[in-house]
Structure 1
Amino acid sequence: MQLAATPVIAAEKVTLKLGGFESAIAISQLEQFAKTGTLPPQLQLYSAFLTPQVRKVLNNRLQIDPKRADGYIKELSSSPYGKQLLKYLGVAIPELTLPQLQAAVSLAAQQANGVSVVNLIKAYPQENIVIDATAAIALAVKFNPSYLQSQAVGSSLADKLAVTSSTEFKPSFDPTILGKAKVIEQTVVFQDRKRDRNLPVDIYYPQQNSLLSALRPTPLVVISPGLRADRKFFSYLARHLASHGLTVAALEHPDRTVSPNSLLPATEFVNRPKDISFLLDQLSKLNQQPGALHGKLYTEKVSIIGHSLGGYTALAVAGGELNLQQLRQACKGVNPLAQAPADWLQCGAATLIDSKVELQDKRIKNAIALNPVVGQLFGENGLSKINIPVLVLASTDDAITPVLNHQLRPFTQLGAQKYLVTAIGGTHLSVGNPNSQALTDTGVIKERRGAEAQPLRQLISGVSLAFINQLTPNAQIYQTFLTPAYAQSLSTPNLPLRLSTELPPSVITQP
């Protein structure tokens, strides 16, 4: 169906319904509230709902290229989050149709400063728009510009990062299947008395045999989970790597309570990277002691894998430099209700006292950051300080760490050898252990997990093994699994998978 680019008429008034009450107001009065915060008499009935936070949401602007407005709604409506967003819109504005929404977005996108809730209402192609105020307020707090922008790049990434080949990808072996070594698991708890932190660690290592002995020493792998996730979050990955002869230490950071009204303590952005350095110090000592782990903990050549806040941790110890000045500027007046969780979570670091925080640990020789929290933590060039290989995972339906601000744009800063794995349709927790207690659905978007996300977990198992083995004499053997063709070979129609070393300029320059 061909949709009109602009409406013949535009809305002049809004009929607000709240319970049994109904009030008609001019859109100019709603616009006055958005601009000044002053409530006209007709809006006094809704004063309990029209808070400063709601006013800020009304003024949030989503930058949409007018030429891409039609495609934007099409892409958005085909995504899981977009479908749910349109469902909420249908409840808040019962008479709204998809063609009307398309026409309103097309007209609003022509505004110089982007699409806001207010100018979207003004562009509605009817003289009167009826809004259920209660449902609209619930919708407003879900109007999340950074996530909506990230949603729009999904299909274009699938196309632009695809590779064509006349031959099927047929490797000589499959890095996604378990290796031949029997895996032994041991739990150790280290106590950092100086910082009053207890660190439980699960150590996975292969049972010794003559072949593995000949390959020693192999890199030590450290796994840092995200906020509220435990050390079992990547147990499948730890066992996989250990079965191929690697020793893996999966730690659990002390948990801290976080809510929309209470940011993560600033100290956590320092403590988590320091947990890694403390752990390596303790493992180095343990490596010298008699016992099953003697000689198995090569702490001078370490690969780190981190997810979410653990992804930030991995980038920090890899050499990424925090830019607190830029972060503080970005976090001025931040409203948790109008942000993706990672967009306001990062602001906890803005109160750090030291202007220059040294977090790098030079024992880290390469880093894997899965769905990392990045945003403005490292500023515009803090990640360019990293001079070791880095692999980043971005999931396009990630509502926690939206891909544009937390993975794609930060990826372009990296100057050393780098790889980007993109899961088109993957969510924040898709890569984790499907049996993990941390895998709970959010109220906004359903996480893709279980069997539907298995291809992504397989890819991460194979790519991680290949990436870590670049630090070993087996580097050449595994190089073939760090190619676009390999990632695409594991794709499914519902979960396209891509691997690249660069991003198309059109993605990088999205507003």
Structure 2
Amino acid sequence: MRQLTDSLHKSFNWVGILLGISLLTTMGSTFPARSAERVQVSLDILERTISVNSLEAYAKRGVVNNDLAPYIQYIRPQQQEQLRRILLKRLEVRPIAVSQFFNTPQAEILLRRLGQVIQTESGEYGSQAIQQALISAANDPEGITLLNVLRKFPASGVRIDLARGLQLADDLSKVIEQTNKAIAAVNEQATTLAVNQTSVQIAALPNLRQPGYFTVNKQTRQFQDWRRNRSFTADIYLPIPEGIKQQSTAAPVIVISHGLGSDRETFAYLAQHLASFGLAVAVLEHPGSNAQQLQNLFEGKAEEVAPPYEFINRPLDVKFLLDELERLSQTDILYQGRLNAQQVGVIGQSFGAYTALALAGAQINFNSLKQDCAAINNTWNLSLLLQCRALILPNYNYNLQDYRVKAAIAINPIGSSVFGKDGLNNINIPVALVAGTADTVAPALPEQIKPFTWLNNPNRYLLIMNNGTHFSTLAESQSTVPLPSPVIGPDPALARDYIKAWSVAFFKFYVANDPEYKAYLTPSYIRYLSQEPLPLSLVRSLSEAELQLALERPSPELIISPNRN
């Protein structure tokens, strides 16, 4: 009985997690208008039944009925409270958003996985029933809670396959353990380098988190690429020299590429900051994968979050923008002599980081992509749900690199499969990968740490933001979907300060060719910059063999928990 109740407790946590993920699911056929009366929990040959009424009485009033009592007595008080929260936790999602997300290709994969654990009473996969329950709950005043979804399940009973659920949970635990080992190894190496490094007095260096000496002029322009029938908007931030900081040459150009479902405003803070240090900055908005595309999905005007051709269009957007900036620097009085579009840096986040890496020379690797996507039903790397959409593209060699790009920063990049090892090997310019240890969208181990070991060029950097999430560095925007604070993670203002300081140093050294900024690109400076609750680590080398040795070590005692996200 104790083993069964322990498994039951784990399953409630598991179901809560899966139901949260299942918002990205797909519509299916409908069921008769029924609602679940009981939850049947199965573990091998053992089966136990709890009525939904009992779960509701316990969650809402703390009443323990007879069919629930045998389980509750083995659960600690703290766990009991957690169970009640899981049952009543409401996901704040609009009904139309739920319905439209159910139409996305990525959703079908997630729902199929969830259906392996939550089934109909007869033991059939419950994916279609889960769809209808979620839609019904979303339209109910009580909203999407685990308890309400169970209520809306279109059958008299819900069967939870604990054996399969616990197997999936065990698989996830192994993934987390491997990630913790890798992060511990990087942190350990970074600490050793920082302690042993001899350099200038770090405390005496100017504070790059503070604005520079240039005033900034912002211009918003529309661009039309007639060849691709594609128009987009870009904000251009021009540094205005003052006093002794006169700038006699044209400013290098930094391009910022936003992530999926985002817009120009999310990195406006970074553009303003970089321009204050004498760098011209262009922040473009990618149609087809921006906040408007997400809104179109909600309204039924789009079929998915991003069409597969966005893997090609995004880098081509930047190429076209650079062409236009070169033209403006020769023909427009406002920009004449003030832009050096031959000396370019690119920084992007998530899908924007993919964009930056493609422009830096990474090539789409269809062989790697096919191999990884064949096992997509068994992965915990959610970014593959987007990466695998690139398989829709015609299989030939796309020329996405731009030789005007001299350095690139990729924040929370996706690309482990769409580029693979061979694709990333083609990058020959300075590149920095920024990872968050609590990133559950583009997890640090498969998407940043392993890909870092595949880079061959000597000027490579891996910056780890411990406890950072996929959204830590993003600023709020009026047009993007608001995110709850646990998803954003702790102290986003600190995370943005880190990115401001790192980006200034990286681009001033590698794009503006200013040697004064080399001292900032060191483990010792990063250690000096580092603060709780987002401690930083920086390494410049990590081989595949070294990473494999780290993964084979016993688990570290101190674990950076991914559950902070």
1:378 alignment partner AA: F
Deviation at 1:223, TM superposition (A): 0.6
User: Is the 8 Å Cα contact of residues 218 and 472 (structure 1) preserved in structure 2?
Assistant: no
Q: Which residue of 2 aligns with 1:298?
A: 340
Q: Compared with structure 1, are the counterparts of its residues 434 and 473 closer, same or farther at alpha carbon in structure 2 (3 Å cutoff)?
A: closer
Amino acid at match of 2:190: L
Choose from 25, 29, 45 the match for 2:121. 45
SS at 2:410 equivalent: strand
Aligned ranges for residues 17-416 of structure 1 at < 5 Å?
A: 20-21=37-38, 23=40, 27=44, 45-47=121-123, 49-51=125-127, 133=160, 145=172, 148=176, 152-153=180-181, 154-163=183-192, 165=195, 169-209=202-242, 211=244, 213-256=246-289, 257=293, 262=304, 264-332=306-374, 334-335=376-377, 339-416=380-457
How far the C-alpha of 1:437 sits from its partner, in A, is: 5.0
CA distance in 1, matches of 2:411, 2:361: 17
CA distance in 2, matches of 1:373, 1:53: 32
The verdict on how the C-alpha distance between 1:310 and 1:143 changes in structure 2, with shifts beyond 3 A counting, is farther
Q: Deviations over 1:74-103 (max 9, x none)?
A: xxxxxxxxxxxxxx9xxx9xxxxxxxxxxx
The residue aligned with 2:523 is: 484
Structure 1 distance, partners of 2:170, 2:384, is: 13
Code of the aligned partner of 1:245? G
Q: Quick check: which one's helix share is greater?
A: 2
> Counterpart amino acid of 1:484?
P
Residue 136 of structure 1 deviates from its aligned partner by 10
The aligned residue for residue 136 of structure 2 is none
Following the alignment from structure 2 to structure 1, what is the Cα–Cα distance between the partners of residues 466 and 357?
Answer: 23
Instruction: Please report how far the alpha carbon of residue 399 of structure 1 lies from its aligned counterpart in structure 2 after TM superposition.
Output: 1.2
- In the TM superposition, what is the alpha-carbon distance from 1:272 to its structure 2 partner? 0.5
Aligned in 2, Cα 1:219/1:213: closer, same or farther, shift over 3 Å?
same
Instruction: Give the distance between the partners of 2:480 and 2:170, measured in 1 at CA.
Output: 25
Q: Which runs of 4+ in 1 moved over 6 A?
A: 8-18, 134-144, 258-261
Paired with 2:227 and 2:511, the residues of 1 have a C-alpha distance of 35
Name which of 471, 484, 489 aligns with 1:448. Answer: 489
* Cα shift readout 1:232-288 (whole Å, capped 9, x = no counterpart): 111111111111111000000003457899574221101101111111111111111
- Structure 1 pair 139/312, CA: closer, same or farther in 2 (3 Å)? farther
Q: Is the 8 A contact 1:302 1:366 kept in 2?
A: yes
Does the aligned pair in 2 maintain the 1:283–1:299 contact within 8 Å? Answer: yes
User: In the alignment, what sits opposite 1:427?
Assistant: 469
Deviation at residue 334 of structure 1 after TM alignment: 2.9
Rounded to whole Å, the distance in 2 between the matches of 1:240 and 1:23 is 57
Question: Could you tell me which residue of structure 2 aligns to residue 128 of structure 1?
Answer: none
How much does 1:291 deviate? 1.9
Q: Compared with structure 1, are the counterparts of its residues 312 and 196 closer, same or farther at alpha carbon in structure 2 (3 Å cutoff)?
A: same
SS in 1 for 2:231: strand
**Gaps in structure 2 of 5+ consecutive residues:** 13-34, 48-112, 131-145, 151-157, 553-565
Q: How many residues align?
A: 416
C-alpha deviations, 1:98-151, integer Å up to 9, x for none? Answer: xxxxxxxxxxxxxxxxxxxxxxxxxxxxxxxxx983999999999884973575
Amino acid in the other structure paired with 1:162? T
Taking only the aligned residue pairs, the percentage that are identical comes to: 31
| 1:298 shift after superposition | 1.0
Q: Distance in 2 between matches of 1:23 and 1:196?
A: 55
Aligned-partner SS, 2:421: coil
Q: Quick one: structure 1 residues 239 and 431, their matched pair in 2 at CA, closer, same or farther if it must change by over 3 Å?
A: same
Residues 306, 313 of structure 1: 8 Å contact kept: yes
CA deviations 1:166-220 (Å, max 9, x no partner) are: 9973133112210111111000010112212111000001124475554413321
Q: 1:147 to 1:312 in 2, by over 3 A?
A: farther
Gap change, CA 1:271 and 1:150, over 3 Å in 2: farther
Any idea what SS the aligned residue of 1:344 has? Answer: helix
Q: Residues of 2 paired with 1:342 and 1:402: CA distance? A: 8
* Letter paired with 2:400: L
| 1:219 alignment partner, SS class | strand
Asked if 1 retains the 8 angstrom alpha-carbon contact of 2:315 and 2:359, the reply is: yes
Q: Secondary structure at the match of 1:446?
A: helix
1:431 deviates by: 1.0
